[in-house]
Chains A and B, each alone.
Chain A
Amino acid sequence: MLRKLFVAIPLAAAVAGTASAGRSDDPAAVLQALIESTDSFYLTQSEQNLMMMPDSPALWTVEEGEALFHEARGPNNVSLEGCDFGKGPGVLEGAYVELPRYFEDTGKVMDLGNRLIHCMKTLQGFADDDPAITKIHGSGTDHMKLQTYIAAQSNGMAWNPPLDHPLEKAMRDAGEVVFHRRSGPFDFNCAVCHGAEGKRIRASVLPYANNPKEWTKAISWPAFRVGHDNLRSTQHRISECVWQMRYPEIVAGSDLSIAIGSFWTDMARGQPAILPDMKR
């Protein structure tokens, strides 16, 4: 396992810090290249996770998701190959790093979760209350298998969500307001934990939102949460943050959650995504 890392390092160093890096099959190599390119307490906090990444259970989930994606399913008995994730129907490479984005057909800014559910309902005919639609958390769900597969097709590519459409900019800017809004019985906002470099909450080193090389890992979801023994999505992470901050419960896929996701993706712009990642 360690030998693989030593081989990967020179290769990874070649793509270190380049925003134009192309798609990679190896999330561990993408992370290793980032580590080599900068000096970050956050990125290097778990040697164990880095060692485990080549054997991450998430890689199995990618394969399960790939099979599900191409399978004819639902009342309409069609696959998801016709789904447009922003770069045209069936184009998966680079689609995830350009989300959230505006979609003409719905008139909304959507993240991967929303868009996936949209296609499962409109193309495959799944009903609103079908478990395939409603169950969005856990490695065993269709939703997470599909999210993980689709996201993995952007591994190593630079975050690049579009901001040309006025709605995209509006959502991103609203997300920034929420990020800095002191709220709740603890007076918390996102910046309390993510507004400085090299800080720890208990034993966990926190990513600094203004350091794109740290923030790209921070937002690389789906990621295998070792402590949960499950793959977790962006929506899951947002809801966990909001829970700890003593805010009300956030609604997954609501425009509020999309606005937060829009802002936080913009903050990692240009840095390579690590998908699927592994976290504590």
Chain B
Amino acid sequence: MFDRKTPAIAVLATLALAGSYATAADVDYTKMTPQELAEHLMFEAGGFKLDVEVQEGGTAKQRLVQDELQKVCTETRNKPSPEQVAALTAAARETVKYPEGDIKLGDWKKGRDLAWSGFGYRVGHRTDDHSKSEPGGNCYNCHEFAGDRQGGTIGPSLRNYGKLRGTEQPILKLVYGIIYNAQSMFPCTTMPRQGANGLLSEEQILDVMAYLFDPTSPVNKE
């Protein structure tokens, strides 16, 4: 493909720290496909600080390695074929670890705090310290919940969620699956895989579900 005569990583690292700019010198960008160049700029040309430790363990580099889901959704611009839909949703459903026995709703007050919190997993000029504060669900970024605070509109409104659906086990199980891995219901959705990617624990998901379903929750008092 292309020859890199001199490994420039050491030079790149020091220059990057000094706030100066550099590229790997002997690579011809115009001979690469856009995908090849993008991967090169991310992984080999000092575009990201890859060696930094991240909250989940390991280094930042692994966050950029795409899994099958990310590859398919990227390639299809989030419009997978029917065959891909079947494969993706099946694979996603396999990842869901349900609680033992019935789904028991948690504490809606904790769920509200988790839904509101945007803390967690950010690295860079301000790295989220998970020993100081637990990571939240980021839910309000994209969803409306109750009229007291402004939620986003990237995802559907969740107002009156429990009131509209009841609290029988089938619906609770369905929603648990969505929060754990939304790809199981909505292939290539923009919603993060809260359980499957270890972002929220079982207990936290049940607290968020309480915020959604508990009749005394503000969500159901709209």
B185 at the interface (CB under 8 A from A): no
Query: Do A200 and B37 touch across chains, with their CB atoms under 8 A apart?
Result: no
B129 CB to nearest A CB, Å:
15
B56 at the interface (CB under 8 A from A): yes
Contacts of A188 in B (CB 8 A): 190, 192
Partner of A242, one of B18, B77, B124: B124
A235 CB to nearest B CB, Å:
10
B29 at the interface (CB under 8 A from A): yes
Distance, CA A260 to CA B82, complexed state (A): 32
Query: Do B38 and A174 touch across chains, with their CB atoms under 8 A apart?
Result: yes
A25 at the interface (CB under 8 A from B): no
A224 CB to nearest B CB, Å:
19
Distance, CA A250 to CA B60, complexed state (A): 11
Partner of A243, one of B74, B124, B193: B124
Measured CB to CB, the nearest residue on chain B to A205 is B153
Interface residues on B, range: 35 or more
10 contacts between A and B (CB under 8 A): A128-B20, A134-B18, A174-B41, A178-B38, A178-B42, A185-B197, A189-B74, A239-B125, A249-B125, A253-B21
The answer to whether A248 and B50 touch (CB under 8 A), given A114-B21, A117-B20, A185-B56, is yes
Query: Do B34 and A170 touch across chains, with their CB atoms under 8 A apart?
Result: yes
Query: Do B29 and A171 touch across chains, with their CB atoms under 8 A apart?
Result: yes
A21 at the interface (CB under 8 A from B): no
Partner of B41, one of A128, A199, A254: A254
Query: Do A134 and B19 touch across chains, with their CB atoms under 8 A apart?
Result: yes
A201 at the interface (CB under 8 A from B): yes
Query: Do B21 and A250 touch across chains, with their CB atoms under 8 A apart?
Result: no
Query: Do A176 and B52 touch across chains, with their CB atoms under 8 A apart?
Result: no
Most buried by B among A114, A129, A170, A187: A187
Query: Do B37 and A254 touch across chains, with their CB atoms under 8 A apart?
Result: no
Measured CB to CB, the nearest residue on chain B to A259 is B41
A182 at the interface (CB under 8 A from B): yes
Within 8 A of B (CB), among A149-202: 166-167, 170-171, 173-178, 180-189, 191-193, 196, 198-202
Within 8 A of B (CB), among A74-108: 108
B98 at the interface (CB under 8 A from A): no
Distance, CA A259 to CA B48, complexed state (A): 13
Query: Do B64 and A255 touch across chains, with their CB atoms under 8 A apart?
Result: no
Distance, CA A249 to CA B53, complexed state (A): 11
Query: Do A202 and B141 touch across chains, with their CB atoms under 8 A apart?
Result: yes
Contacts of A182 in B (CB 8 A): 66, 69-70, 73-74, 78
Distance, CA A113 to CA B123, complexed state (A): 23
A48 at the interface (CB under 8 A from B): no
A: residues with CB less than 8 A from B are 108, 114, 117, 128-129, 133-136, 166-167, 170-171, 173-178, 180-189, 191-193, 196, 198-203, 206, 239, 242-244, 246-257, 259
A121 CB to nearest B CB, Å:
9
Measured CB to CB, the nearest residue on chain B to A113 is B21
Contacts of A108 in B (CB 8 A): 23
Query: Do A185 and B34 touch across chains, with their CB atoms under 8 A apart?
Result: no
Most buried by B among A108, A114, A242, A246: A246
Contacts of B132 in A (CB 8 A): none
Measured CB to CB, the nearest residue on chain A to B24 is A255
Contacts of A180 in B (CB 8 A): 74, 77
Query: Do A177 and B46 touch across chains, with their CB atoms under 8 A apart?
Result: no
Distance, CA A117 to CA B41, complexed state (A): 21
Distance, CA A134 to CA B16, complexed state (A): 10
Query: Do B21 and A248 touch across chains, with their CB atoms under 8 A apart?
Result: no
Partner of A193, one of B15, B61, B154: B154
The 8 closest A-B pairs by CB, nearest first: A256-B47, A248-B60, A249-B124, A173-B34, A253-B21, A177-B38, A248-B48, A174-B37
Distance, CA A242 to CA B30, complexed state (A): 26
Contacts of B56 in A (CB 8 A): 185
The answer to whether A248 and B74 touch (CB under 8 A), given A170-B30, A173-B37, is no
Partner of B151, one of A135, A184, A196, A202: A202
Query: Do B32 and A202 touch across chains, with their CB atoms under 8 A apart?
Result: no
Contacts of A128 in B (CB 8 A): 15, 18, 20
